[in-house]
Amino acid sequence: MEEWEKFLRPYKQAVEELKIKLKGMRKDYQLNRQSSPVEFVTARVKPVQSIIEKASTRDIPYDRLREGMYDIAGIRIMCQFVDDIKVITELIRSRADMKVVEERDYIENTKESGYRSYHLIIEYPVQTIEGTVVILAEIQIRTLAMNFWATIEHTLNYKYSGEYPPEIKKRLQNAAEAAYLLDQEMSEIREEIQDAQKYYTKKRNI
């Protein structure tokens, strides 16, 4: 277990740092009195049991985990509107403290399950007492509606291990469609919503 703790140490450090940095983007927008494309940020280090299971199903040897498994450190950025995803992606691409090495667009290419999200794999240098360790991390960017669907589906997946009864499968597909339509509707009234949010923030600050 101590071996795992040692192995995971830079990932834990990275997740904490990335959470603070990405949350900072929201603060910067707020200070400039601009609507933030970042609504909230969550982060986690993959539990050891999940790492072991994934390594076994993907045939990744333990001595290749640092290169072979890119979501041991996972960051999730939630936003209000689909267009915010592009803005956040651009901001991350232009940062000097991390390097985007791969992008996966599950919004253009929705997964068969109905899953939508934009994934960035980044290289991130962590400073340790033994020097710099460059780790891979996965940043998932999604709207609140995409996140609602993914969270529910993820929970159900635990129960059914992906083998959904037809009725549940259909319901999940309907829910994915509803989340898609919700995103579209919200985009249509985006300006109206953002105006109201500015007014609300101003009033709260009085």
Does residue 115 belong to the site contacting ligand 0O2 (CB under 6 A)? Answer: yes
Single residue of 119, 136, 142, 180 touching ligand 0O2 by CB under 6 A: 119
| Residue 86 vs 154, nearer CB to ligand 0O2 | 154
Q: Which of 141, 150, 172, 176 lies at the binding interface for ligand 0O2 (CB under 6 A)?
A: 150
Q: Indicate if 138 belongs to the active site.
A: yes
Shortest spacing between CB 150 and ligand 0O2, in angstroms: 4
Question: Residue type for 195, please?
Answer: D
Site membership for ligand 0O2, residue 104 (CB under 6 A):
yes
The tokens of 166 are what?
A: 């037809």
Report in angstroms how near the CB of residue 30 gets to ligand 0O2 at its nearest.
28
Helix (H, G, I), strand (E, B) or coil at 37: coil
Angle between helices 82-93 and 166-188 (to 10 degrees): 80
Q: Does 86 bind ligand 0O2 (CB under 6 A)?
A: no
CA 141 to CA 42: how far, in whole Å? Answer: 11
Backbone φ, ψ for residue 140 (5° rounding): -100, 125
- Considering the complex, what minimum distance in angstroms separates the CB of residue 178 from ligand 0O2? 16
- Alpha-carbon distance of 156 to 51, in angstroms, equals 20
Instruction: Say how far apart CA 191 and CA 77 lie, in whole Å.
Output: 21
Q: Is 64 in the site for ligand 0O2 (CB under 6 A)?
A: no
Query: Are 153 and 173 contacting, i.e. CB atoms less than 8 angstroms apart?
Result: no
Residue ranges in contact with ligand 0O2 by CB under 6 A: 46, 54, 58, 71, 74, 104, 111, 113, 115, 119, 150, 153-154
